[in-house]
Amino acid sequence: MFKKRISIKQVEEGRHFSPKFNSEGLIPVITTDFKTKEVLMHGFMSKTALKKTIETGEAYYWSRSRKALWHKGATSGFVQKIKDIRIDDDQDSIWISVDIGRGASCHVGYKSCFYRSLPIKKKNIKLKFKEKKKKFNPNIVYKGQPNPTKL
């Protein structure tokens, strides 16, 4: 499925899919809602996750906090159905557009993991919530599972 990287021309202008994984065997992924174009999340895929995503049409990631393959939505029910997969010019990052229906992508309960914004040109930074309401209660959905956020 993945072709060997032979030349810059092949990587940048060719038709061969030659993703470049980092030293940990991961490639960064930006995920957007295919309807609204809203950024839902940023994650990483291992070779296995990328292969399963392509083969199944559903998003798989590598969870760095759990150190495990992660089928997005397996627990919450908000499976990310792939609508488009793109690779950047030097094939070291991926952009996927997904359909999550009326669901969410954030383990905190919001639709997007990017639910807060920062003020610009201010010394006193206080985050502003852009999403006012959660789509689900994470305490109910993920009951008994460890929070993936690490301090």
Q: Tell me the per-residue pLDDT of 93-113, one tens digit each, with 9 for 90 and over.
A: 999 999 999 899 999 999 999
Residue 134 resides in a domain: no
Burial of residue 58 (CB within 10 Å: 0-12, 13-18, 19+) is: middle
Specify the pLDDT at position 121. 87
Residue-wise pLDDT for 9-66, tens only, equals 999 998 999 999 999 999 999 999 999 999 999 999 999 999 999 999 999 999 999 8
**At 15, which CATH number?**
3.10.20.810
Domain count across the chain: 1
- Determine the average pLDDT of the residues in 76-84: 95
Residue 142 resides in a domain: no
Residue-wise pLDDT for 7-18, tens only, equals 989 999 989 999
Residue 144 resides in a domain: no
Residue 84 resides in a domain: yes
pTM to 2 decimal places: 0.88
Residue 140 resides in a domain: no
Give the H/E segment covering residue 54. helix 47-56
Residue 148 resides in a domain: no
DSSP the chain: -PPP---HHHHHHSS-------TTS-EEEEEEETTT--EEEEEEE-HHHHHHHHHHSB-EEEETTTTEEEETTTTTS---EEEEEEE-TTSS-EEEEEE-TT----TTSSSSS--EE--SS-SS---EES--S-SS-HHHHTTTSPPS---
